Amino acid sequence: MSETVEERLGRYAASARFEDLSPAAVGSAKRSTLDTVGAILAGSSAAGTSTVLDMATSWGGKPEARALAFGSRLPGPLAAWCNGTMARALEIDDCVDFLPVHPSASAVPALLTISELLGGLSGREFITALAVGQDVKIRMGLAVRKNAMQSGRNNMFKIFGPTAAIARAMRFKPEQAQNALGLSFSFAVGDGQCALDGALSLRLQQGIVAQGALLSGLLTAGGFTGARDFLMGRFGYLVAFEPDPRLEYLEDDLGSYFYGDQITIKPFSACRATHASIELALGLRGGIDPASIRRVIVHVSPAIHQLVAQSWEKSFPETAPAAQFSIQFTVAAALLHGDLFLKQLAPAALKDPRVTALGRRVAVLPDPALVADNVLGKTQMEIELANGKAVSAEIGIPLGNPAHPMDYAVCVEKFRKCVDYAAVPLAGSNIDRVIEMVNDLEHVNDVSDIIPLLCQGEK
């Protein structure tokens, strides 16, 4: 009898080995770990985080794992919930450029939590588990016919990636891994409207998913059962929500090729769909007085236009999440300040009249000719000056893509920028040690040793 796709995924999650990973996949997993931890630390001071953390701490319970930055000791599922929410809070976690998918924002928090619960999870096991989780999430994104930007379902399938990671970290047998994946279907969440509305629930979804993945593993270990045919059964996920899936992406080269080596690290604190425009603005601004700019014209693919280029009157950003999904705002801020990171999204910066005035002069136009193999497409920009002169440029692959990569040293620079925004001060020596340990992660004996270094007042 032939193996079902669900059985094959379970076997893969249970049997993947560190030796199966390419050097590129290992390097990507390490960069993603540092990058996600940085996103969590910066997210500790983001809007909504205090609400989530206060709720979690007020509920009490067994002090099993920590919320990063704060060091609050919480039941494991609550720690994963808080850390996952913080990881996506500021739109600086990793992604891929050919799909609107965030591979690590829930997987890394879930794995950090399980490392505290289990103890003794080695760096090699952590890397392998993360690579499996990233791979499953990206493969699921490739398998569905309509991506989240088209369907609005915001990757309800994202629960399966971190659950596969947890199954690998917990050393499950194939049938246990399959069961955990089936259980996780009950924790699937994802509405895209929150992104368009700039709502805090966008970041909360990753916390719910990190928690759900952890619970799926713990419940499986306790003998609880989930759906066996969770993808292709009569009411399985793909049958119910994603008609005519491309199952070859869940079967071909499974276990021998890991899509994590195609992950993008984001240099800017904004939706990835704005990054090409930001990079063009930064590249063209040299020697230009922003006051002399008569108009900025940005040409993007129709999908990008739909997501991040509503008319200025409709999308005037009153909140940081709204600003991060606005090409008009991000381009204006980049032209004025020479960067688009957390400082440019502070409340006072959102109300800067210079940004407002310049943003009104940014025109974003859809162009079907700019559609490309990756979801970003190509981006073109022309800046017209008051003296009649103009400068222009085009980008096909923005910074951070594996073809235009940020190496570990550049990721370290971004990590240090993130640390500056942690809600509580962290010892500089601790941060240096974290950078060293993650860079040498495959030789770390117990990943949970990293966690105290990332918490207030601990060494």
Q: Give residue limits of the domains in the chain.
A: 5-267+405-454, 272-395
How large is the average pLDDT for residues 445-458?
Answer: 92
CATH superfamily of the domain spanning 5-267+405-454: 2-methylcitrate dehydratase PrpD (1.10.4100.10)
pLDDT score of 268: 97
Taking a C-beta distance cutoff of 8 angstroms, is the pair 66, 79 a contact?
yes
Is residue 459 pLDDT above 60, yes or no? Answer: no
What is the CATH T-level fold of the domain 272-395, as seen in this structure? 60s Ribosomal Protein L30; Chain: A; (3.30.1330)
**In angstroms, what CA-CA distances link 314 with 36, 128, 196?**
32, 44, 11
**In angstroms, what CA-CA distances link 20 with 51, 75, 127, 132, 262?**
41, 33, 11, 11, 16
How many other β-carbons are positioned within 10 Å of the β-carbon of residue 170? 22
Straight-line distance from the first to the last Cα atom of the chain, in angstroms, rounded to the nearest whole number: 54
pLDDT band for 46, please (50, 70, 90 cuts): very high
How large is the average pLDDT for residues 320-332?
Answer: 91
**Tens of pLDDT, residues 266-314:** 999 999 999 999 999 999 999 899 999 999 999 999 989 988 987 666 5
**Tens of pLDDT, residues 185-243:** 999 999 999 887 878 999 999 999 999 999 999 999 999 999 999 999 999 999 999 99
pLDDT score of 458: 65
Is residue 149 pLDDT above 90, yes or no? Answer: no
Strand partners, 368: none
Is residue 316 pLDDT above 90, yes or no? Answer: no
* DSSP-derived secondary structure for 358-370: HHTTEEEEE-GGG
CB burial of residue 167 (10 Å; 0-12, 13-18, 19+) = buried
Is residue 1 pLDDT above 70, yes or no? Answer: no
Q: How far is CA 438 from the centre of its chain?
A: 18
pLDDT score of 319: 82
How many other β-carbons are positioned within 10 Å of the β-carbon of residue 33? 28
pLDDT score of 315: 53
- Measured in degrees and rounded to the nearest 5, phi and psi for residue 392 equal -150, 160
Write down the mean pLDDT value for the chain.
95
pLDDT score of 398: 95
pLDDT score of 325: 87
pLDDT score of 82: 98
pLDDT score of 456: 85
Is residue 11 pLDDT above 60, yes or no? Answer: yes
| Stated pTM of the model | 0.93
- Measured in degrees and rounded to the nearest 5, phi and psi for residue 417 equal -65, -40
pLDDT score of 311: 66
Which of 155-164, 172-181, 368-377 shows the lowest mean pLDDT across its residues?
368-377
Taking a C-beta distance cutoff of 8 angstroms, is the pair 99, 138 a contact?
yes
Is residue 111 pLDDT above 90, yes or no? Answer: yes
Q: Rounded to an integer, what distance in angstroms lies between the CA atom of residue 450 and that of residue 71?
A: 12
